[in-house]
Amino acid sequence: MTGATRLGIVLLVAAVALATPAAAQEPMRSGLWAEFGRGGGNVHLGCSTCLEPTVRYGRSGYVRVGGSLTPRLLWGVEFFGLFDREFGSTEDGTTLTLDNAIASTVVLWYPWRGGIYFKGGLGLAHTELVAPVSEGTPEIITSGTGSGLTFGIGLDVPLSRRFSVTANFGMFYSAIGDVALLESVVDDVITTVYQANFAITIR
C-alpha cells in the first residue's frame, strides 16, 4: 500500500466521520441527565451603605442533574460554588475569604436545532465570610442566606448521543439581607457572581 493510498484512506475515514448524519450527532435530550463543570469566576459584594462593590476572583464549579420536558426544554437542580477568594485583610493582618454556595432550580432552553441554550432559574444562596483562628482551622466570622436568580447561556457540543462537552457563562444574583459583621450590621447585602465553566454532560 503506497503512501498516497494510506493518505486517501485516512481522508476518507475523516470525511465519513464528519459526514455522520445529523441525527447521530444530535445529543439525546430525553430522560435523565447530569452535568459536571469547573472553571472560574468573580463575586461582587455590595450593600446599601457601600460606596462601590468589592470584587474578588476565585475557582468555581457546579453540578446539574435533571430531566427533560421536551427535546428542547430541560429542567434540573443546580449546585454552584465559588471558593478560595482572598476577600481582604483586617487591621491585624488576618486574611479573610468569602465563599458563595448557591442551589437553584433551573430550566435550559434550546431555541434552535444546534447546541446553543439559555438558562434561567431561582433558588437559595449562602455566603460565608471566614478568617483563620489557627493554621488549618477556619472560623466563620459571619454568614447569611437569601434568595437568588440565575441566568446564563451555553454551547452544548455532542461527542455522541449520550456525551457532550459544554461551555457556559452565567450570572447569579443573590439578595442575602442584613448580615452581622463582628460588632456591626451590614444592611442589604447583595452578591452578584459571574462564572465561566467547561463541563461534561451525560445523558
Task: Please report, for the domain that includes residue 194, its CATH number.
Answer: 2.40.160.20
Q: Which domain holds residue 138?
A: 28-202
Q: Which residue has the cell 433551573?
A: 106
- pLDDT of residue 8 exceeding 60, the answer is no
Q: Is residue 1 part of a domain?
A: no
Q: Is residue 22 part of a domain?
A: no
Q: Is residue 83 part of a domain?
A: yes
- pLDDT of residue 25 exceeding 70, the answer is no
Q: Is residue 20 part of a domain?
A: no
pLDDT grade for 175, boundaries at 50, 70 and 90:
confident
Judge whether 60 and 85 are in contact, CB under 8 Å: no
* Helix locations, the chain, DSSP H: 3-18, 22-25
- pLDDT of residue 28 exceeding 90, the answer is no
The tens digit of pLDDT for each residue in 142-159 reads: 778 888 899 999 999 988
Q: Say what the pLDDT of residue 57 is.
A: 80
**Burial of 134 per CB tally in 10 Å (0-12, 13-18, 19+):** exposed
Average pLDDT rounded to a whole number, residues 124-133: 75
Q: Is residue 10 part of a domain?
A: no
The tens digit of pLDDT for each residue in 82-108 reads: 876 555 544 445 555 677 888 999 999
Q: Is residue 18 part of a domain?
A: no
Q: Is residue 81 part of a domain?
A: yes
Domain count across the chain: 1
Q: Is residue 88 part of a domain?
A: yes
The tens digit of pLDDT for each residue in 185-197 reads: 667 778 888 999 9
HEC per residue, 39-96: EEEEEEEECCCCCCCEEEEEEEEEEEEEEEEECCEEEEEEEEEEEEEEEEECCCCCEE
Alpha carbon distance 125, 168 (integer Å) = 20
